[in-house]
Amino acid sequence: MAGIMVVFDFDKTIIEVDSDNWVVDELGATDLFNELLPTMPWNSLMERMMKEMHAKGKTIEEIKDVLKKVPIHPRVVPAIKTAHSLGCDLRIVSDANMFFIETILDHLGIRNCFSEINSNPSYVNGEGRLIISPYVDFLTSPHGCNLCPPNMCKGMIIERIRANEGKKKMIYLGDGVGDFCPSLKLKEGDFMMPRKDFPAWKLICENRTLLKAEIFEWIGGTKLEQILIGLIEKIKIEEANNGVQLLSAVDCKFEKIPMVAHEAFPPPLRVHH
């Protein structure tokens, strides 16, 4: 069997909020964040916020404590554990940062479910301050994708993963503007799971004919679990039957996005999700 790869966005997909906003708000730095937001890219702003909060006495332990309280739908962790137990290769592609993601995954007890995490590098320096760097150094080596923020193109990450794991069927789950680009990299036989009424879903609905993957929208963790596990089981049945396309009862449970008339490609967007 070729196998199945499931790629998750993190913010507003695995967890219910944006982890950057969550930390900033919970540590009382929202006003400064909003003041600086128009002046620099999001990733650079988060690095600046870590510097400012450290200068005001906020510690790494306080940041960890806040991250451990992040809201998550009660069915998301079981869905991840089930997908892992079914033999899927689980990965994360996120514009958050490694420290935030790993802290939350460790707290939830699911870090070992993921074979790879792609996110902005971060580490705690000798002074106890969290340093956050861009995934791509956009000043010296810009990625050149006008659909994605300057520090990360998720589509390029998917292309790199595909080059190494080309035979695996891919299921991609995401919500934000940055998840539209990777949806365009999915192939026929893959599946895109955008969160309904979120930016990625809206862009996909406006540009449905650009995608080759089948699309299944979801609302909340219960639907995420139902659709994800249903798709995994469907793929496994088809692989077990030598690729014969079988009609499955799970199909009628899913909410597919129908084909719509092609509309103009959206302008470059730099909204962080």
> What CA dihedral angle connects 112, 117, 119 and 124, to 10 degrees?
40
Torsion of CA 30, 33, 35, 41, to 10 degrees: -150
| CA pair distance 261, 245, nearest whole angstrom | 27
Does 20 belong to an annotated binding site? yes
How far is 119 from 13, CA to CA, in rounded Å? 15
**Secondary structure percentages of the chain, helix, strand, coil, to 5:** 45, 15, 40
* Residue in the structure block whose two tokens are 């499955």: 248
Which residues are known to be catalytic? 9, 11
Strand runs (DSSP E) across 114-230, as ranges? 114-120, 122-124, 130-132, 169-174, 191-194, 214-215
Which tokens is 158 given?
A: 């998917």
Question: How far lies 138's CA from each of 39, 41, 129, 215, in Å?
Answer: 16, 10, 23, 31
The residue type of 89 is: D
For residue 11, what is the DSSP state? T
Q: Does the annotation flag 11 for ligand binding?
A: yes
User: Strand pairing partners for 76?
Assistant: none
Per DSSP, the three-state class of 261 is: coil
95 annotated as ligand-binding = yes
Strands 114-120 and 122-124: unpaired
Q: What residues form the annotated binding site for substrate?
A: 20, 95
